[in-house]
Amino acid sequence: QMNANDCHDPPKYWTIHGLWPDRAEDCNRTWHFNVTEIKDLLSDMRHYWPDVLHSSLNRTQFWKHEWDKHGTCAATLEVLNSQRKYFGKAIELYQHVDLNGCLLKAGIKPSSSYYKMTAIKEALTRFYGVTPKIQCLPPEEGEKAQTIGQIEFCFTKELQLVSCTALEDGSSPVQAHLKLGTSELSVCNDTLPTYYPSEVQ
């Protein structure tokens, strides 16, 4: 995966994938991404929202995709109604949630031994008071463990944290476009041992 995608030195911390409205019918395909509108955010963007798959380009491809597909829909909310607000608010929410700090405090860190998915879930729910949606890569052939791949937090339109359990009918926007090679992320299986890798092999 890394070789095929020119991925170098992937970060050793959780980064942002995107900020997605649950329903995406109000998008404006003519509202084009313009990186100059977020130039004051660029150092934060490169740190918290890096494009690890297209590192040799000007690194805006991922952000453009997220804006075109999700940002133009999210912009129906006044608090997100410009590129500057959309990207700035996503970074603010990321810092507020502080997933990296929370997992460390709960003693959950990248490791070569396995975790129980229920233990990870319980720790997050205890910490946040809401249930996030944890997604995994299913076990590869001949393996027994799933690999933790993405942790999705849900917010109300007022951007307050809310449990994601109501969205678990498969209608989540992530299912539509997130494919990692041939393996697809899906909601983790509570009974499988879970691998939280320290290095991408």
- pLDDT tens figures, 106-131: 999 998 889 999 999 999 999 999 99
Question: What whole-number distance in Å separates Cα of residue 136 and Cα of residue 106?
Answer: 20
The answer to whether 66 is a known catalytic residue is yes
CA distance 102 to 15: 14
Percentage, residues of the chain above pLDDT 90: 69
* Average pLDDT value for residue range 150-156: 95
Catalytic residue among 8, 17, 47, 140: 17
Domain shared by 178 and 151, yes or no: yes
Per-residue pLDDT, 48:
96
Tell me whether residue 96 is exposed, middle or buried, using C-beta atoms within 10 angstroms of its C-beta: 0 to 12, 13 to 18, 19 or more. Answer: exposed
Catalytic residue (one of 47, 54, 66, 184)? 66
Tell me if residue 168 is catalytic. no
Q: What pLDDT sits at residue 172? A: 47
- The answer to whether residues 2 and 46 belong to one domain is yes
At a CB cut-off of 8 Å and minimum separation 6, what does 190 contact? 117, 118, 121
**What predicted TM-score, i.e. pTM, was given to this entire model?**
0.87
Q: Is residue 185 part of a domain?
A: yes
Active site residue 177: no
Range of the domain at 49: 1-97
The answer to whether residue 148 scores a pLDDT higher than 90 is: yes
Pick the catalytic residue: 37, 54, 70, 78? Answer: 70
**Is residue 39, in this structure, part of any structural domain at all?**
yes
Q: Which two tokens stand for residue 157?
A: 């339109």
CATH code for position 183: 3.90.730.10
Query: Within a domain: residue 62?
Result: yes
